[in-house]
Structure 1
């Protein structure tokens, strides 16, 4: 190893080039800061290279493939279309390469210094960066840890088996599994189950009975109905007992919800895995930064750790392990360093899954709202009553609205159905501004469009939805129109 002779000085050093890290770097450059970004692998981090982007390529392909029957109804195609996994894998790589190049170009255009290597703290204002035989030392005024998290296989399983995979590894397979067993219920697990079923695999989901799906109860019920419709088998389990792998298959033995032992045989087993913050190699233990019992770095409202010169964002901090959290925190940390007064409020962070159809949950579920003691108005508008959903043959699903009846303030919006992802921003905005029912009913909505479903879901709170079953409007509600 060659150690650099001089200690090099830097203003702001960011460790990690994922969504949070490079967003923080660009925002820093916009604010006139001199920024150095250190990345040990590929720009874009796990999200771009292994996680959410590859996952969305597969869900996009699966959604298109599931549309082939409808396309033939429209006179497009002749029914001879064949799915080619090799082409999809090639397309996935081209998307990743293009987005990664875009991130690299952003850094170059914003004059962000990018250093390749593994960083570790030597002190509260000093890090070392190792790249092969080279080891350089940098002194900084402010540092941001944005190193993300990694999946770990649950203990007791055959970690070296070729048929037991962590969720991101499924996107490297060169065959569509004959029978895919998915253990988990996070968004990636559900996307894998939904997309691979559409791509031709038999799919079984092992759903933890204690945890269940992470959505509103109505969404959970509809998701189960759609899984059944698509012949995706869901087994509720209390405990995973063992796995056994042979050359051609994998068997999973569990205790099901009937409290009996059950064995499922498939070709691959996917685990969402346990995510751990990537901090072990950073050497922060010698700095005595405050951490949680689970190992996450404790930060204040400005993302500042217990050491004033060091900030932390994204998966290394407490809370949801989501790219949108990292991006928001990254911008806020840099704005705080630059002297601003940013605010990060994750109250209305959307829960999103690119399943078929997609799911979005924002705000309180009906159960949480009732448990809090609220008096509620709750309504659902089925997309089967929406004109545009009929045109596009995307009639599965609904929009659910939960309102505090004493204030008319919307406290939760939940959707399963085509267009949910694109509408999620509007849902978040409405809850952030504490919108009332009238705020949603007053504007004009494009026709025909899925967005009209939100209007009718709110109108349905007091029986005013036009494209729903007949309901008599009470006189006192009519006076408020």
Structure 2
């Protein structure tokens, strides 16, 4: 390969066309930058093609299928309803393709130059881009690294993408597993457990030794135990997989459970993974960008690296491996490059799971609030007491609010139940605007709706909730 001296001039180079990358590209273009977006694989990145979107198509399909089977109570007869995996797979591919095309159309409409190829830094202001036999050099004023991460399975587990699956390959399954073991405690493990149970798999969830529960408020964790029991999902706690291997017919798992070792078998194993930032082959060693002890790129609140004209966003930086983080950082980086005083603050980043029922949280959990030294007040309202939840047959779950007793400031909001993922925006806005209990009590809430459960959760603080019986008003509601 002969590298020519000619370098194409660009204002901003963005390496990676996932959610963070294309949000950064479009925001920078809105601010008048000449933007080149480089992606070596598929537009939309892992989130659109292998992660967030495919997994949510699975959870959506599972919820639809389960809802149809549960609809006999309102007169819809569904005894012969089946789930056709081939049709579902075709729908998934069509949906992803349309969304991928939408990303391209949006970038084109904003005059973002889109280049396919593998990019790597040659110096602090140059990148090389290789695509097959084609090679070009670009000189830039600023660059943004948005190359994402790859799943790394726990030690002892070799993912074969057929029977032993990670977060990328489980979304490509073309069958419903007969017996699915799920190893992990994150939101993906919960989503896959509940989705495949609804589709007909016998599911066993294994929590490793470092986790005897989930990373949610303790009330949500208790409700999850009830939901698992109701749905016949077995949970093995305080265990770890020391080894897992597969053959043509089954997966064999060597399980270390407290003081004993046992061997269990099933048709499939899904394992939650560690996120490994994709920074090995982009030439960072040539320009001296510093990384953290855990291997992520160091950035400040403007997403600026230790190389002042280069920024980094998304999974290559420390913090939750979430598209919402990458998208926000992308906009912040674009605005910082344009001279706008923007910052990325993830204090109230929402934690959501598209489970059955959905989970959504923002702010401090009850246990975190106590650990921070707050004297807390808690209001909690069960969806079983909400008229609309009863009407639609979605009575599982509750809404919980946590306030500082002295200042009356909202500290956290946690919910599990139908509509939780949409409703948590009210909690995020309230936290960002430093809301007090009176700020949530004053507005009118639509009727009938699950929104009213939020009002009654706050009313429960003052023993004013209309749809709680007196004994539940005197004592905090426990699930």
Please indicate, yes or no, whether the TM-score normalized by the shorter chain is above 0.5. Answer: yes
User: Matched residues in 2 for 1:422 and 1:465: separation?
Assistant: 23
Give the stretch that moved more between structures: 411-420 or 71-80. Answer: 71-80
Runs of 4+ aligned residues of structure 1 deviating over 3 Å after TM superposition are: 1-5, 158-162, 471-474
SS of match in other structure, 2:168 = helix
* Rounded Cα–Cα distance in structure 2 between residues aligned with 1:119 and 1:158: 29
Matched, 1:253 2:249: no
User: For 1:167, what is the secondary structure of its paired residue?
Assistant: coil
User: 2:144 corresponds to which residue?
Assistant: 144
Cα deviation digits, residues 168-189 of structure 1 (max 9, x gap): 2112111100000111111111
Q: What residue number does 2:86 align with?
A: 86
Q: Please give the alpha-carbon distance, in whole angstroms, between the structure 2 residues aligned to 1:253 and 1:461.
A: 48
Unaligned runs of 5+ in 1: 475-481
Distance 2:227 2:76 in 1: 26
Q: Which residue of 2 aligns with 1:114?
A: 114
Unaligned runs of 5+ in 2: 475-479
Q: Distance in 1 between matches of 2:150 and 2:373?
A: 39
Cα distance, 1:471 vs. partner? 5.0
Which residue of structure 2 aligns with residue 417 of structure 1? 417
> Which residue matches 1:331?
331
Match of 1:173 in 2: 173
Cα distance in 2 between the residues matched to 1:262 and 1:206: 13
Residues 375 and 406 in structure 1, CA contact (< 8 A), matched pair in contact too: yes
Instruction: Quote the offset at 1:210 in angstroms.
Output: 2.1
The Cα shift of 1:145 comes to 0.3
C-alpha distance in 2 between matches for 1:472 and 1:322: 37
> TM-score of the superposition, structure 1-length normalised?
0.96
Aligned residue for 1:412, secondary structure, equals strand
Determine the C-alpha separation between the residues in 1 that align with 2:462 and 2:263. Answer: 49
CA RMSD, Structure 1 to Structure 2 (Å): 1.5
- Cα distance in 2, alignment partners of residues 471 and 197 from structure 1: 36
Offset of residue 472 of structure 1: 9.6
Aligned residues: 473
- Are the counterparts in 2 of residues 403 and 410 from structure 1 also a CA contact under 8 Å? yes
1:283-302 to structure 2, matched below 5 A, reads 283-302=283-302
Helix, strand or coil: the match of 1:6? coil
Match of 2:477 in 1: none
Q: For residue 344 of structure 2, what is the aligned residue in structure 1?
A: 344
- Structure 1 distance, partners of 2:392, 2:184, is 31
Q: CA deviation at 1:208?
A: 2.0
Does the 8 Å CA contact 1:2/1:134 hold for their aligned counterparts?
no
Find the aligned partners of 1:160 and 1:347 in 2 and give their Cα distance.
37
Report how far residue 311 of structure 1 moved. Answer: 0.4
Deviates more, 1:465-474 or 1:327-336: 465-474
Within 2, Cα distance between the matches of 1:367 and 1:159? Answer: 35
Does the 8 Å contact 1:445/1:452 carry over to 2? yes
Q: Secondary structure at the match of 2:290?
A: coil
Report if the CA contact (8 A) 1:4-1:135 is conserved: no
Q: CA deviation at 1:75?
A: 2.5
Instruction: Give runs of aligned pairs for residues 400-411 of structure 1, distance below 5 A.
Output: 400-411=400-411
2-structure distance, mates of 1:96, 1:260: 45
Residue in 2 that maps onto 1:478: none
> Matched residues in 2 for 1:224 and 1:237: separation?
15
SS of equivalent residue, structure 1 residue 282: coil
Q: Does 1:365 align with 2:365?
A: yes
Q: Paired residue for 1:182?
A: 182
* SS in structure 2 of the partner of residue 154 of structure 1: coil
Q: Distance in 2 between matches of 1:237 and 1:286?
A: 44
Three-state SS of the structure 2 residue aligned to 1:254 is strand
The structural deviation recorded for 1:76 is 2.7
Which residue of the partner structure matches residue 43 of structure 1?
43
Tell me if structure 1 keeps the 8 A contact 2:159–2:166. Answer: no
Aligned partners of 2:283, 2:156: CA distance in 1, in Å?
A: 28
State how 1:384-403 maps to structure 2 within 5 Å: 384-403=384-403
| TM-score (normalizing by structure 2) | 0.96
1:253–1:156 CA distance, 2 compared to 1 (3 A): closer
Cα drift, residue 227 of structure 1: 0.8
Name the SS of the counterpart of 2:174 in structure 1.
coil
Residue 303 of structure 1 aligns to a residue whose secondary structure is coil
> CA offset at residue 463 of structure 1?
1.1
- CA distance in 2: counterparts of 1:161 and 1:412, whole angstroms: 39
